[in-house]
Structure 1
Amino acid sequence: MINIGPRSSVAAFDVDAQNCFTPLCPDELPVPDGHEITDALNSQAKLAQYRLGSKDAHPENAVWAATSKRPQLSPVVGFENSDLHWNIHAVPGTFGFELLEGLPAVTEYDFFVWKGIEPDIHPYGACFHDHAEKRSTGVVEFLLSKGVKTVVVGGLALDYCVKVTVLQLLRSGFRVIVNLAATRMLSSDTGHSACQEMQSAGAVFVNNSDEIKVVDEPCLSNWSH
């Protein structure tokens, strides 16, 4: 059991929990069992004072779009904010763009990020729009303004957007807990490597939210003066 302190200092982060990253969209970027994380994301949110979310939001004319000549995972040349070719995914207005069924509406989150709308920019992490991490999405600033110390993270996929978001949060000074029940990996090779990288950087892993304990703070109105 991991004690993460008072609920008021805890945030939960749903990273790119979208249909496009599940078998529901087999022509996009289907992560095995990616559609099965909703309950775990909702469970971890109950531990937190704040719930954050992010979405990929990509145009169909993206420079990183995979083709027969430039297959998925081949390198992108000439664009500093796009590194690999990917199948087109998360186009606004499509089913793949939508959050997984059972998650809140985006307007019900305490903070929400859309990333990657520019055709030449394909970020992974949800804390910065660019690969050099100079253009903030506002996530770090929001968390700091609310006094958050610990962020519990889940979403899709573990080996890409979740990993980079976790590393960005760690570099920003937060304690980060990765909830394995609330995430899935695109492949076992990259997934296990990602876990090692996150753990080496200071991330803590739990199998599910039952392994996390928050401390309920006393009600000030009941204090005697």
Structure 2
Amino acid sequence: MNLPDKKFIASFDIDAQNTFTPVCPQELPVAEGDQIAGELNAQAKYASLRLASRDAHTMSALWLSDAEHAPLTPIEGHPDLDIRWPAHAIIGTKGFDFIDGLDPEAYDFQIFKGIEPDKHPYGACYHDLKNSLSTGAIEYLRCHGITTVICGGLATDYCVKNTVLQLKAAGFDVILNKAACRGIAPATIDAAMEEMTAAGVKFINCAAELAE
């Protein structure tokens, strides 16, 4: 794969948190979600900047499921909420923390998303579902002259897909490292891959391919 000079490349670890792994089975566990740190660290060696996003939720969130409102049921009347979810990535809990193998001090820029109780974004570039309230990620990349972003994280079919599409829409070349991602279900993973392919995203099977 032809890469630009390292100074034009950033790596982006998207929601690589315990909440999306078997470490937190009562939250939103993704199979093998705790096994991607090595690939995320490997891809970062090809970049001059490293970013991370984290879900950062509170127990006052309006999208929380409960006995009367099952997970995945629709929410009406809130423009930045779509469906209900179990409690996950609550600030101060183990679920909020990075997965083992990632150093919180290794990042040049970190994004906390979903702090507001009336918002539940998926992509890491915007705080709202309309992609209008920036998290600063796009501006940060632009002001540092970044043209190419290597991505990985959790989960492929939700926050990774949405972040990748947001970056593409902002004009970046985006490379998705498949070995640095895990997804929820085969059908939604396949659909996400098709959507990203149609948007012009490039794919690698593992970080070692970046050296070729």
Instruction: Provide TM-score, normalisation by structure 2.
Output: 0.97
> Which aligned pairs between 1:132-151 and structure 2 lie closer than 5 A?
132-151=130-149
What is the CA-CA distance between 1:46 and the residue it aligns to? Answer: 0.5
CA distance in 2, matches of 1:118, 1:139: 18
CA distance in 1, matches of 2:188, 2:173: 23
Equivalent residue for 2:65? Answer: 66
Contact 1:4 1:213 in 2 (8 A): no
- Gapped regions of structure 1 (runs ≥ 5): 215-225
> Which aligned pairs between 1:13-28 and structure 2 lie closer than 5 A?
13-28=12-27
Q: How many residues get paired?
A: 212
Contact 1:3 1:213 in 2 (8 A): no
Correspondence for 2:171 among 173, 176, 181: 173
CA distance in 2, matches of 1:122, 1:80: 10
Counterpart residue identity of residue 30, structure 1 = P
Give yes or no for the alignment of 1:35 onto 2:48. Answer: no
Deviates most, 150-159 or 64-73: 64-73
Q: Secondary structure at the match of 1:161?
A: helix
Superposed CA deviations along residues 37-67 of structure 1, whole A, max 9, x for unmatched, are 0000000001100000010000112111112
CA distance in 2, matches of 1:153, 1:74: 30
Q: 1:213 to 1:3 in 2, by over 3 A?
A: farther
Give yes or no for the alignment of 1:110 onto 2:100. Answer: no
Contact 1:60 1:91 in 2 (8 A): yes
Q: Secondary structure at the match of 2:4?
A: strand
CA distance in 2, matches of 1:168, 1:149: 14
- Gapped regions of structure 2 (runs ≥ 5): none
> Which aligned pairs between 1:84-163 and structure 2 lie closer than 5 A?
84-105=83-104, 107-163=105-161
Once superposed, what is the RMSD of the aligned Cα atoms?
A: 1.1
Counterpart residue identity of residue 90, structure 1 = A
Deviates most, 114-123 or 69-78: 69-78
CA distance in 2, matches of 1:16, 1:143: 18
Equivalent residue for 1:217? Answer: none
The percent of aligned pairs where both chains have the same amino acid is 48
